[in-house]
Amino acid sequence: MPLTLDHLRRYAVARTLFRPTTLMRAIERLGFVQADPIRAPARAQDLTLRHRVRDYRAGDLERRYPRLALEEDFFVNYGFLPRAHQRLMHPRAARQAWGAARWKQAHAVREFIAARGTAHPREVDAHFRHGKTTNWFGGSSNASTQLLDGMHYRGLLRVARRDAGTRVYALRDADAAPPDAAAVDARMDALVDLVVRKYAPLPLPTLRQLMLHLRSAVPQWDRARVPALARARQRLAQARVAGVDWFWPVGEDPAGRRWTPDASVRLLAPFDPVAWDRRRFELFWGWRYRFEAYTPAPRRRLGYYALPLLWHDRIVGWGNLAVVAGALASEIRYVDGSAPRDAAFRRGLEAELSRMRGFLGLGD
């Protein structure tokens, strides 16, 4: 039987919405969880994990992070990933080189943090008084914060924990010597496989896009990206469906019976693996979903932080949720203008809103 978009859609939903497990196992299976600071009604990483971790509550990742073998770092986006995956990307050399004066500041900060064990950016700023600097979007930031960001990116520091959402830093163990050419190729292949396992099945344009995103992860190996893509196109399982080349991990059969989405109604994070690829989203569901938090309000069609509404393997609408006076306020809208006429859907939506209240600690 020829592979169809229906097969790929069911496969995409079922393989990533796996049976809930422990927090560490869920992140290992995902490979990477994208982070975002907006809470509407919770951060994206929490909204992603609540479907995949047993009894998950908003903020559990931040609370438990110091005890887990996890790191915050840049991958295809900024987020959380297992420590073993982070090691594939280091030692990292940033595209913008630092001068001698900047490195002198960095070494002084490392000595300061080494003596203390951990340091909040406020403590670094109070001690060194680096002053102000212009940030990437034209505003003013503490120069100490920008320096710490750069040190973290280069692997000189790690995020030990967060205090009220702010990173608290510790020293990161030194990396081994830079890998040779063969080891670089092996690491690039492993990183590509992480991307594919996270977002499969991937249309070829998205695979190319994600290879560009890897420039944030491993700028020091930029010349290795194009050969890595060529090897991936030879190595990965693939098929041409609906005029598009699709890729997924070797050994998985998108048409197999195991890929059967459950009947739950789910409100997904904007960066959930089901919805992240907007190109794939339109191919699967036939309408445009956009993240509009940074879109001027008069131009928004879906709302500030629209959560795609999944039922079985269909995304039938979206919801905008907020906590108002200690209660969950929800506005649900539908692609067809009205809710599916199915009692099972209505029960499923009520169950999902009840789960959301529990996740947010609001009661029922």
Structure tokens at 5: 């978009």
Instruction: Say if residues 138 and 77 touch (Cβ distance below 8 Å).
Output: no
Domain ranges of the chain: 100-171
Alpha-carbon distance of 271 to 293, in angstroms, equals: 13
Q: Cis (ω within 30 of 0) for the bond into 201? A: yes
Backbone angle region of 196, left / alpha / beta, with phi > 0 → left and psi within -120 to 50 → alpha: alpha
Q: Measuring CA to CA, which residue among 35, 30, 5 is closest to residue 18?
A: 30
Which residues, including other chains, have CB under 8 Å from residue 341's CB and lie 6 or more apart?
A: none
DSSP class of residue 181 equals H
**150 burial class (0-12, 13-18, 19+ CB within 10 angstroms)?**
middle
Output the six-digit token pair for 355. 């789960």
How far apart, in Å, are the Cα atoms of 207 and each of 163, 199, 333? 36, 9, 31
Average pLDDT per 10 consecutive residues for the chain, totaling 364 residues: 94 97 98 96 98 98 98 97 97 93 95 97 91 57 88 97 95 91 97 98 98 95 97 98 97 95 96 97 97 95 97 98 95 95 96 98 80
Reduce the DSSP state of residue 140 to 3 states and report it: strand
Q: What is the CA radius of gyration of the chain?
A: 22
- What's the token pair of residue 13? 């939903």
Per-residue model confidence (pLDDT) at position 176 = 85
Give the β-pairing of 202-203 and 237-241. unpaired
pLDDT at 141: 65
Residue 220 in tokens: 């020091």
Burial class of 299 by CB neighbour count within 10 A (0 to 12, 13 to 18, 19+): exposed
What SS3 state is found at 321?
strand
Q: Which residues pair with 318 in a beta bridge?
A: 308, 333
- Which residues are CB-contacts of 309 (< 8 A; sequence separation ≥ 6)? 265, 266, 267, 268, 315, 316, 317, 318, 319, 332, 334, 349
Among 12, 2, 1, 10, which Cα is nearest to 203's? 12
The pLDDT of residue 363 is 73
What is the pLDDT at residue 263? Answer: 94
Query: Of how many residues is the chain composed?
Result: 364
- Return d(Cα 79, Cα 63) in angstroms, integer: 15
Predicted pLDDT at 190: 98
Q: What is the CATH number of domain 100-171?
A: 1.10.10
pLDDT of res. 227? 97
Q: What is the pLDDT of residue 287?
A: 97
